[in-house]
Structure formats: C-alpha cells, structure tokens
C-alpha cells in the first residue's frame, strides 16, 4: 500500500503553516493535521495500554527518525500498528516532544497551553509566541509548524 510510504515532508508542513486550512495538495500528499490526529488516536489505543501516561512514553526530545525507531521497537513488543499508523504516531510524538522542548521552559507543562483553539487560531498563537521568544530559544519554521499542528490536535476547539 502506497500509504505506508507517505511521510509528512518539511514542504508539506511549511505549506500547512503558511496556508491554513491546507489546500488539497498534490496527489498522494499527506495532510499533516489529519496524520497527527490519526497518530494521537493510534498512540492512545496502542501505547497507553502498557505505558501509564503519555508523558512517560514521550519523555525526552527526539526527532522523527528516533521516534520511528522507538515505535518500530514497540511494535515488536506488541503494539499493533500498520506502517501508516506507525508513521502517524512518530509524527504525533515528534510534535509533542518538540512542544515540550521548546515551550515548557516558560510554560509549566501544558498549563498555559490548555486553551481550545481552531487550527487557524493555534497557528496564529504559536507564530505570535515564537516572535516574542528570545532568538536562541526560537524553533525553526518547520518546528513551529509541527508545534502548531500538535497543539491543534491536542487542544482542538470543543
Ligand atoms: C506490550 C507493551 C508495550 C506497548 C504496547 C508499548 N510499549 Fe513502549 N515500552 C514497553 C516496555 C516493556 C519498555 C521498556 C523497555 C526497556 O526498558 O528495555 C518500553 C519502553 C518505551 C520507551 C522508552 C524506550 C527508549 O528508547 O527510551 C518509549 C519512549 C516507549 N516505550 C514508547 C512507546 C510507544 C510510543 C508505544 C506505542 C507505539 C509503546 N511504547 C507501546 C512496553 C510497551
Ligand atoms: C521565554 C518564555 C516563553 C517561552 C519559551 C514560550 N512562551 Fe508562551 N508565553 C510566555 C509569556 C510570558 C506569555 C504571556 C504573554 C502575555 O500574556 O502577553 C505567554 C503566552 C502564551 C500563550 C497565550 C497567548 C494567548 O493570548 O492565548 C500561548 C498560547 C503560548 N504562550 C504558547 C507558547 C508556545 C506554543 C510556546 C513554544 C513554541 C511558548 N509559548 C513558549 C512566555 C514564553
């Protein structure tokens, strides 16, 4: 299945970040928001059975390739995820660990980030925050996009 080969490219993230909502991309392109949403669901269904909390499993900042390895390792331990879901979980956890690495030095864990916002509003809020961050702490444009997508999935409008 082609889907298992799909990855969210930096270009797709940049496109999402520049133009929310995502316009229909080229054939086969993954919508990062949907993928991260799928990752969150698969994570809850397949990872939290053995791991008590999300924080435990997401502890530590890892880039996507490192998360792919962890997820593949967990599949050998019993997590039931097809290749597309594995990729989605790796993307979700990348956004999560980036947010923790880049935002929680000032905001205690999720406390200041508990508002529910639309994807557009999260994008604006994160962009605004990044502008005001000291330059040495600022995430890259790609990382900023991932953080906004993560928060849009984690703290959606109710
Ligand atoms: C069948 C039980 C089980 C499932 C399901 C499971 N894990 Fe694990 N996980 C473990 C065990 C046991 C360890 C400890 C391994 C060790 O210390 O050698 C572990 C360790 C980890 C670690 C720390 C390893 C490291 O390299 O730092 C992470 C992160 C992790 N799991 C994430 C996940 C994620 C993400 C999922 C879902 C895709 C998942 N786990 C699903 C049992 C499970
Ligand atoms: C250097 C410290 C610092 C870092 C790092 C930081 N913030 Fe903030 N953030 C603040 C402060 C201070 C406020 C309150 C500012 C205000 O109310 O005017 C704030 C406010 C916010 C708000 C509330 C804005 C609103 O009006 O709803 C959001 C959302 C937010 N930050 C998100 C983030 C995200 C996402 C990150 C990581 C990319 C981040 N912050 C990193 C200091 C920081």
Q: Is the pLDDT of residue 1 over 50?
A: no
Distance CA 153, CA 41 (A): 10
Instruction: Assess if residue 97 is contained within a domain.
Output: yes
Q: How far apart are the first and last CA of the chain?
A: 34
* 85 in a structural domain: yes
Determine the pLDDT at residue 30. Answer: 82
**d(CA 10, ligand 2 centre) in Å:** 24
Structural domains in the chain (count): 1
Residue 135 within any structural domain of the chain: yes
Please tell me the distance between residue 133's alpha carbon and the centre of ligand 2 in angstroms.
8
Tokens of 29: 């392109």
Residue 118 domain-assigned (yes or no): yes
With respect to residue 105, please indicate whether it lies within any of the assigned structural domains.
yes
With vertex at residue 39, the alpha carbon angle to CA 27 and CA 132, rounded to the nearest 5 degrees, is: 90
Residue 139 tokens, joined: 């995430």
- Residue 66 belongs to some domain of the structure: yes
Parent domain of 52: 30-154
* Pocket of ligand 2, beta carbon within 6 A: 102-103, 105-107, 112-113, 115, 125-126, 129-130, 133-134, 137, 139, 147
Tokens of 137: 């702490």
Percent of the chain predicted with pLDDT > 90: 59
In angstroms, what CA-CA distances link 154 with 116, 133, 134, 150? 9, 22, 25, 6
Residue 69 lies in a domain: yes
pTM for the model stands at 0.87
- Position 39 scores a pLDDT of 97
Is residue 74 a contact partner of residue 47, using CB atoms and an 8 Å limit? Answer: yes
pLDDT at 72: 97
Looking from the CA of residue 148, the nearest atom of ligand 2 is 35
pLDDT tens string 114-156: 788 999 999 999 999 999 999 999 999 999 999 999 999 999 9
Q: What is the pLDDT of residues 3-32, one digit of tens each?
A: 333 455 555 555 555 444 443 445 567 899
8 preceded by a cis bond (ω within 30 of 0): no
Structure tokens at 32: 């990062």
Q: Is the CB of 44 under 6 A from ligand 1?
A: no
The C-alpha atoms of residue 131 and residue 91 are separated, in whole angstroms, by 24
Identify the band that residue 98 occupies on the pLDDT scale cut at 50, 70 and 90: very high
13 found inside a domain: no
Using a 10 angstrom Cβ sphere, with 0-12 exposed, 13-18 middle and 19 or more buried, the burial of residue 83 is: middle
């Amino acid at each position: 299945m082609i889907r298992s080969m799909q990855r969210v490219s930096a270009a797709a993230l940049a496109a999402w970040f520049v133009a929310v909502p995502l316009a229909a991309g080229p054939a086969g392109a993954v919508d990062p928001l949907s993928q991260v949403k799928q990752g969150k669901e698969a994570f809850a269904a397949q990872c939290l059975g053995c791991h008590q909390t999300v924080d435990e499993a997401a502890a530590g900042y890892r880039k996507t390739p490192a998360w792919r390895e962890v997820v593949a390792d967990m599949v050998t331990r019993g997590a039931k995820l097809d290749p597309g879901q594995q990729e989605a979980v790796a993307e979700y956890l990348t956004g999560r660990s980036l947010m923790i690495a880049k935002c929680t030095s000032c905001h205690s864990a999720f406390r200041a980030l508990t508002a529910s916002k639309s994807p557009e509003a999260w994008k604006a809020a994160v962009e605004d925050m990044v502008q005001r961050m000291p330059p040495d702490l600022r995430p890259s444009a790609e990382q900023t996009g991932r953080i906004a997508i993560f928060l849009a999935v984690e703290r959606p409008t109710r």
